[in-house]
A and B are shown apart, each in its own frame.
Chain A
Amino acid sequence: MKSLTALAVTLLTVVLATPSAFAFCGFYVAKADTKLFNQASQVVLARDDGKTVITMANDFRGDPKEFAIVVPVPTVLEKGQIRVADRAVIEHLDAYTAPRLVEYFDPDPCAPPRPMAAPSSGVRLLYRSDAAQEKAAKSLGVTIEARYTVGEYDILILSARESAGLETWLRDSGYRLPAGASSVLGSYLKQGMKFFVARVNLGEQAKLGFTYLRPLQMAFESPKFMLPIRLGTLNADGPQELFVFALTRRGRVETTNYRTVRLPTGLDLPPYVKEEFPNFYRAMFAEQVRREDMRAVFLEYAWDMSWCDPCAADPLSAEELRRLGVFWQPETAGERPRRPGALDTFVTRLHVRYDARHFPDDLVFQETADRANFQGRYVLRNVFTGDASCEAGRRYRETLRARAEQEATTLASLTGWSMEEIRRRIGPVGGEAARPDGRKWWQRLFGD
């Protein structure tokens, strides 16, 4: 037993002494932009101490009079608890947290090492949203708890004795309810939830002059830290895309009833990916979803809001955070923080592709104490194309082929793309054909 104890103590000492430092240095490239994912919605959840501010953004492109959402909410909301938010801030948050591509340039192997430059620039990802759709007319056991006009929206807060009455009322009011809505509505009602119903007030919209629908924001107190996704899966035409941006004080947010999986990150890819980063990201995400059997939520970003490295966009200012519902952020001059720790907010970006079959239950979250930074980051290393005729240059060129092959393998594994196509796109490497012409190794050795 003594030897066992001694062994344990030895292991303890070794691991405690292991350093775990990592420094980033490289160029940041902006390539991906606009709608990468269809049928996507964005939700910002600012939460601390049981208080939640939820901001729901959508990219509804149809006729505004067709637009309606029905959202289960844990409490009756007063008018002051609802407001219209600014889409630009969400776009900023989206850009700040987006997966990023970074680019390095191999140095001249014949020259002494030189310091690398700082990262710069930004990626933007935009998504289109799909919300629960409904319409209007008479009532049975339905109570209109409140009725407001907020910005361009007419809002009703409903409670009901039973789901059939609520369903009838919503249908009669012109809301198109998907098949199966009744049982889901009934389940939420029995759980004590109210229903937040919003439609566009065309008159107000015309007066305000907005050509798009602005995000809705509501603030409430409830121990429930969840997103009701079940209603939305009923009428979905295929899987839906959801981005959740959680703004918290303590640390990273994760789902407690589904696996939260980190997106593969920090991998070297063939430089041609620079030209098609959006395609890469879409294919990579689809492949990861497939590997997890579409039963996981993906972590794309987790970072202290005070800084970033490399920055896909500047961190949000205190003012912007307050507009996203970060109520614990003191009102300041609104300047961007100059030093780490200036903002008491941690951001988590979760990305989930879901349907009713793989995500039968609502998303339930918890805030963890994990403040470790994480980002989806993909690396391009550009080959040195100068003369490099020294001995080191010759050795450098010899490594290029294996490197290209490794990058191709990584890309194929991440995206499911075919190796042949990737090799074709990579083209010649280090002055030779990147890849043999389809001949077997022995054909190359012995000849045909």
Chain B
Amino acid sequence: MTLLVAQVEQTPRAPVTRMETAPTVPLPRWDPRIYQIATLGSLLVYGIAWLGFDVEPRTAVIILGTVLVTQAAAAHASRTRFDPRSALISGLSLCLLLRTGSPTLAAAAAALAIASKFLLRVGSKHVFNPTNGALVALLLLTDHVWVSPGQWGSTAVFAFLLASAGGLVVNRAARADVTWAFLAAHAALLVGRSLWLGDPVVIPLHRLANGALVLFAFFMISDPRTTPDSRAGRILFAILVALGGYLIQFRLLQTNPLLWSLAVCSLAVPLIDRLLPSRRYEWAEPGTGRRRERSPS
């Protein structure tokens, strides 16, 4: 994993909001995606080596290989520049969440995740977060994949939470609002439910201390290419996802409520963007304010 990260890091880049004039906001020093890749990669190694995740190293390699190959092929076909960073984030997230005994399905999920970015688009945005879309599609279409939300020890969760939150602070990522809004709404719903039921507060705290939740909040729902453009829209979106997850978990009594909720709510993003319009997000060159060429990644 380290090798891949080292190779993809060519010149430091950072996200800025695309603007018609040179940006006036302070720019982060380097692309948060590099930090995300390092965090996810370390967590994957830790998960496999110490937490006993049901991820064979070979499956991880298949997923990472497939996302890169698919990204390269799609970039070639769409005549855009090949940028492996977003693909690696999708791939690493898939490695952490997707469980299957079938290497073919693992590769299919990886290919689907990347292909969906190029194929399922509204305007210049993709509809689904690649990892989320691939997971939900495979959960719907086959009986041979699953997600194991309970496999994170509390030590790992807190370390991961700190690393993820630290990443947001260090990089001042433009889309931290959706993460915090979602976490606040989700926690409020869980704690509120426990208060209503008369349960001790350790029960919602236990549910919140979940690595899959951290992964979801910091790496999936926060995807700048699929969230609404305006801050108000993003906060609305975050609250909708939390509410949907609550209904799926406690009314429909299904597993992986947040994954389903995000997929459904993603369909509403074009509508939210229409109601609450704002400037679109682009990954761009740091420091210069220069817009980079458009790529769907």
Instruction: Let me know if B77 is at the binding interface, CB within 8 A.
Output: no
B79 at the binding interface (Cβ < 8 Å): no
Distance in angstroms between the alpha carbons of A256 and B149 in the assembled complex? 6
Q: Enumerate chain A residues within 8 angstroms of B196, measured Cβ to Cβ.
A: 190
Q: Is residue A23 contacting chain B, with contact meaning CB distance below 8 A?
A: no
Cβ contact within 8 Å between B150 and A16? no
Whether B7 pairs with A16 at a CB distance below 8 angstroms is no
Cβ < 8 Å to A, chain B residues 232-278: 252-255
**Contact partner of A15 among B8, B58, B199, CB < 8 A?**
B58
CB of B144 closer than 8 Å to a CB of A = yes
Give the secondary structure class of A's interface: mixed
Cβ distance A294 to chain B, nearest Cβ, rounded Å: 12
Any chain A CB within 8 A of the CB of B92?
no
Q: Are B206 and A360 in contact (CB under 8 A)?
A: yes
B101, A4: Cβ atoms closer than 8 Å: no
Q: Are B197 and A15 in contact (CB under 8 A)?
A: no
In the complex, whether A332 has a CB less than 8 A from a CB of chain B is: no
CB–CB B52/A370 < 8 A = no
Contact of B153 among A11, A255, A295 (CB under 8 A): A295
B203 pairs with A361, CB closer than 8 A? yes
Q: Mark A122-147, 1 if CB is under 8 A from B, else 0.
A: 00000000000000000000000000
CB 8 Å contact bits of B30-65 with A (1 = contact, 0 = none): 000000000000000000000110100110011011
Q: Which residues of A contact B203 (CB under 8 A)?
A: 360-361
B8 touches A4 (CB 8 A): yes
B100: Cβ under 8 A from any A Cβ: yes
In A261-297, the 8 Å CB interface with B consists of 261-262, 292, 295-296
B99 contacts partner chain A, Cβ-Cβ < 8 Å: yes
Interface footprint category on A? 35 or more
Are the C-beta atoms of A183 and B8 separated by less than 8 Å?
no
A369 pairs with B150, CB closer than 8 A: no
How far does the Cβ of B273 sit from chain A's closest Cβ, in whole Å? 32
Binary CB contact string for chain B from 198 to 216 against chain A (1 if under 8 A, 0 otherwise): 1110110011000000000
In whole angstroms, how far apart are the Cα atoms of A15 and B107 in the complex?
13
Residues of chain A within 8 A of B64, CB atoms compared: 8
Closest to A5 in B: B72
Which residues does chain B contribute within 8 Å of A12, judged by CB atoms?
61-62, 65-66
B145 at the interface (CB under 8 A from A): yes
When the two chains form the complex, which single residue of A3, A224, A257, A360 contacts B150, counting CB atoms closer than 8 Å?
A257
Render A9-20 as a binary contact track against B, CB cut-off 8 A, 1 for contact: 101100110100
Instruction: Tell me the minimal C-beta distance from B195 to chain A in angstroms.
Output: 11
A369 touches B154 (CB 8 A): no
Bound complex: CA A35 to CA B65 (Å)? 51
Neighbouring A residues of B252 by C-beta, 8 Å: 223
Q: Given contacts A223-B253, A295-B154, are A370 and B99 in contact (CB under 8 A)? A: yes
Judged by a CB distance under 8 angstroms, whether A260 is at the interface is: yes
Near B by CB (< 8 A), chain A positions 350-374 give 360-361, 366, 368-372
B158 close to chain A: CB less than 8 A = no
Of the residues A18, A190, A369, contact of B146 by C-beta under 8 Å: A369
On whether the beta carbons of A11 and B146 are closer than 8 Å, the reply is: no
Determine which of A9, A223, A369 lies in contact with B100 in the assembled complex, contact meaning CB atoms within 8 Å. Answer: A369
CA of A18 to CA of B61, assembled, Å: 13
Complexed CA–CA distance, A224 and B255 (Å)? 10
**Given A4-B84, A5-B72: A257 touches B144 (CB 8 Å cut-off):** no
> Is the pair B253, A224 in contact by a Cβ cutoff of 8 Å?
yes
Residues on A with beta carbons closer than 8 Å to the beta carbon of B255 = 256, 366
List of A residues within 8 angstroms of B69 by Cβ: 5, 8-9
* CB <8 Å contact, A183 and B198: yes
Contact of B206 among A1, A186, A361 (CB under 8 A): A361
- Inter-chain CA distance A187–B66, complex, in Å, is 47
* A360 with B200: CB separation less than 8 A: yes
Beta-carbon contact of B150 and A255 below 8 Å: yes
Chain A CB within 8 A of B80 CB: no
**B7–A4 touching, CB < 8 Å:** yes
Residue contact B101 to A371, C-beta cutoff 8 Å: yes
Given A223-B252, A360-B202, are A186 and B150 neighbors across the interface (CB < 8 Å)?
Answer: no
User: Shortest CB–CB separation between residue B57 and chain A, in angstroms?
Assistant: 7
Q: Mark B137-157, 1 if CB is under 8 A from A, else 0.
A: 000000111101111111000
Indicate if the CB atoms of B100 and A16 lie closer than 8 Å.
Answer: no
C-alpha spacing A37/B284, complex, angstroms: 62
CA distance A296 to B156 in the complex (A): 14
Q: Which residue of A lies closest to B68 (CB)?
A: A8
Q: Is A389 located at the chain interface by the 8 A CB criterion?
A: no
Of chain A, the residue at the smallest CB distance from B205 is: A360
Q: Chain B nearest CB: distance from A387 CB in Å?
A: 45
Interchain CA distance A292-B64 in the complex, whole Å = 31
Q: List 9 A-B contacts (CB under 8 A).
A: A5-B68, A12-B66, A16-B62, A191-B197, A222-B253, A250-B143, A259-B153, A262-B52, A360-B200
B residues bordering A, Cβ < 8 Å?
A: 3-4, 7-8, 51-52, 54, 57-58, 61-62, 64-66, 68-69, 72, 82, 84, 99-101, 103, 143-146, 148-154, 196-200, 202-203, 206-207, 252-255
Which are the 4 A-B pairs with shortest beta-carbon distances? Answer: A15-B58, A8-B65, A223-B253, A12-B65
